[in-house]
Amino acid sequence: MPALTDAAISVSGLDKSFGTTKALDQLDLTVHTEEVHGFLGPNGAGKSTTIRVLLGLLRSDAGTAAVLGGDPWRDAVALHRRLSYVAGDVNLWPNLTGGEAIDLFARLRGGFDRKRRDALCDRFDLDPTKKGRTYSKGNRQKVAIVAALASDVELLVLDEPTAGLDPLMESVFAECVRELKAAGRTVLLSSHILAQVEALCDRVSIIRLGHIVESGSLSELRHLTRTTVIAETARPADRLAELPGVHDPAVHNGQLRFDVDTEQLDAVIGYLHSLGIRSLVSQPPTLEQLFMRHYGDDLNADVTTTRSA
């Protein structure tokens, strides 16, 4: 298995349609071994569809996908011994207890560790004796998380795992992910919670309309994004708007505020310097802004680019 060492998941040109709806459109995704990879996108972007293809629950229409060096459809059973999955919407059997459901998943997968499972129940403050129908949404989610973490596997595929968890439990979950990373496990974490991905992930892929629009480490992605600058200068910055890479300049109470493409930052600061800088605040882009660039304002930018081209 040659791909095993460098890529735990490698997908290229994946297409998947449901009737006339195109769920995945030429999707490429690479998750390296031993990294925590954020899979970021709004609802309906195709995150769960991608994950279902990777689990061999759906079959792709075109393209190739390899998970742990195997074919997710053909080698499903063998691969499932080496990976755990948490669904975003956990449905439990009404008449099975949470503990029974956890054991069932973990033992059907293999590599079940009873001590570890009990410790996880404690950490997540989960009562395993309650029947499935009596659990709240958050508690059902905990059952799925404990079941996934109770087995010692190489790859964890987590589809919006913290939906419905309270902030305390979210931090317990984050701790668990860091431990997995320290233990050299690979994690694919799908989410629309930006702070979570920012805090936990080494690399991020952003999906929009079934297509990966951006992929890389957080610092690599920051190269592609704009820094927000707030400055005061001795002389008015009349020519600021004409500089390349400057967006949305505005003046409030004598304070300049604008966004600048990272590659133009040096030239713009140089220009401000020539005017005499009195104060300067620069903010690196948050993931929120990064996100907005693909799903918000950048839509307009795309349109303008196409028109002017």
By C-beta, is 2 or 19 nearer to other proteins? Answer: 19
By C-beta, is 44 or 110 nearer to other proteins? Answer: 110
Q: Which of 5, 12, 59, 137 binds other proteins (CB under 8 A)?
A: 59
By C-beta, is 107 or 257 nearer to other proteins? Answer: 107
The rounded distance, in Å, linking the Cα atoms of 307 and 309 is 5
> In the complex, what is the shortest distance from the CB of residue 309 to other proteins, in angstroms, rounded to a whole number?
40
Nearest to 293 by CA among 201, 214, 217, 204: 214
291 binds other proteins (CB under 8 A): no
**In this structure, which amino acid lies at residue 84?**
S
Other Cβ atoms within 10 Å of 130 Cβ, number: 14
Nearest to 109 by CA among 157, 52, 141: 157
The rounded distance, in Å, linking the Cα atoms of 219 and 296 is 21
Q: Hey, CA dihedral for 18, 21, 26, 29, is it positive or negative? A: negative
User: What DSSP character marks residue 118?
Assistant: H
User: Exposed, middle or buried: residue 3 (CB in 10 Å: 0-12, 13-18, 19+)?
Assistant: middle
> In the complex, what is the shortest distance from the CB of residue 159 to other proteins, in angstroms, rounded to a whole number?
10
Candidates 21-29, 125-133, 245-253, 297-305: pick the segment binding other proteins (CB under 8 A): 125-133
- Interface map 152-181 toward other proteins (x if CB under 8 A): ------------------------------
55 binds other proteins (CB under 8 A): yes
204 binds other proteins (CB under 8 A): no
Q: Which of 17, 26, 76, 255 binds other proteins (CB under 8 A)?
A: 76
DSSP E strands, the chain: 7-18, 21-32, 36-40, 62-67, 83-86, 155-159, 186-191, 203-208, 211-217, 226-233, 246-252, 255-261, 277-283
- Interface map 79-118 toward other proteins (x if CB under 8 A): -xx---x-x-xxxxxxxxx-xxxxxxx-xxxx---x----
Separation in Å, CA 60 to CA 5, 8, 52, 141, 180: 24, 18, 10, 28, 29
> In the complex, what is the shortest distance from the CB of residue 148 to other proteins, in angstroms, rounded to a whole number?
9
By C-beta, is 137 or 278 nearer to other proteins? Answer: 137
57 binds other proteins (CB under 8 A): yes
Which residues contact residue 284 at a Cβ distance below 8 angstroms, ignoring those fewer than 6 apart?
A: 222, 227
The rounded distance, in Å, linking the Cα atoms of 83 and 69 is 12
By C-beta, is 64 or 283 nearer to other proteins? Answer: 64
144 binds other proteins (CB under 8 A): yes
Q: State the number of binding residues for other proteins (CB under 8 A).
A: 41
> In the complex, what is the shortest distance from the CB of residue 82 to other proteins, in angstroms, rounded to a whole number?
9
User: Exposed, middle or buried: residue 256 (CB in 10 Å: 0-12, 13-18, 19+)?
Assistant: buried
By C-beta, is 38 or 99 nearer to other proteins? Answer: 99
- Residues lying near other proteins in the complex (CB under 8 A) are found at 52, 55, 57-59, 76-78, 80-81, 85, 87, 89-97, 99-105, 107-110, 114, 127-131, 133-134, 144
